[in-house]
Amino acid sequence: MSLRAFDLFAVEQAIAATEFAGHLHHVATTSSTSDLALAAAQAGARRGVWIADEQTAGRGRGNHTWHSVPGDGLYLTALVAPSIPMQSALSLSMQVAIAVQSAIASVAGFRVRDQIDIRWPNDLLLNGKKCCGILIDTASNPATQTAPASLRYALIGIGINVNHTAFPAEIDAIATSLRREQDDPSQSLHREPLAAAILIALDEEIRRLTSNLEPRSLNLEAHSSWIRGKRVLVEARDDDPGGYTGITAGLDPQGFLRVQGDDGQLHTVLSGGLREL
């Protein structure tokens, strides 16, 4: 079956009221949309969205690669530069995950948390299997005598399995796509409504950050079953070969997950993968 062309104009029309309007870019193939966004940011751009049909070197957390089939996934990176302190930028992961979850739920008809769940804060699970990964890279302006360090820009990378019908054997048991979980998986899904819904939701969250408004949802446990009471393994990082196990114990004031470790310590998960035990 031939690849259906991505309708960038349809997305432009849908997001006309957002800060992203007029700043969309689409390519058939790229190493990573985040590479394109980073190059633009380093050249001085402070706004833009890059969408690709295929990524040949998509990057996940911990330098994991992202399985990419031309046209089956939505691979998107948004470049944003709200004027906020770096301390406020720490909540971006939380707000982006909720925005993407809301967009998937509204477009594909899945129930928030019951079906589309956040493995806090970087992964979205659909019926228990990973369907989406989020990776945020930031750059900062240094603090001065009169002002704290501020956000220079953020690259919000989002990869969603939309129309995948099969995965490599090594990840087939833990990965899924929106199409696979539909009542009728024989029907492919259009990527444009999902892209538009994500950008509209992101625009709303960025406006809230810059307006000092409350987050869209104060009951974060309504969005994620992973925040409290989940027995997990926090996988080792490159600079910490140990890893640890414990029970998730809520979020700290910056939105980072806490885990009451089996070692008796209350850990804050700043990096490293999370797996249910």
Q: Could you tell me if residue 3 is inside a domain?
A: no
When mean pLDDT is compared across 57-66, 99-108, 268-277, the lowest value belongs to: 57-66
Nearest to 73 by CA among 170, 160, 195: 160
Same domain, residue pair 84 and 198: yes
Band (pLDDT 50/70/90 cuts) for residue 38 is very high
Name the residue with higher pLDDT: 55 or 43.
43
Whether residue 137 is found in the same domain as residue 174: yes
Question: In terms of domains, do 165 and 187 share one?
Answer: yes
Average pLDDT over residues 73-92: 90
CATH number of the domain enclosing 254: 2.30.30.100
Under 8 Å between Cβ of 53 and 76: no
pTM score, whole prediction = 0.90
> In this structure, are 15 and 131 located in the same domain?
yes
More confident residue, 147 or 193: 193
Out of 178, 196, 221, a domain closes at: 221
Number of domains in the chain: 2
Look up residue 127 and give its amino acid.
Answer: N
Over the chain, what is the mean pLDDT? 89
Average pLDDT for 101-122: 93
pLDDT attached to residue 62: 46
Does 142 fall in a domain?
Answer: yes
In percent, how much of the chain has pLDDT > 90? Answer: 67
DSSP string covering 218-256: S-GGGT-TTSEEEEEEEPPBTTB---EEEEEEEE-TTS-
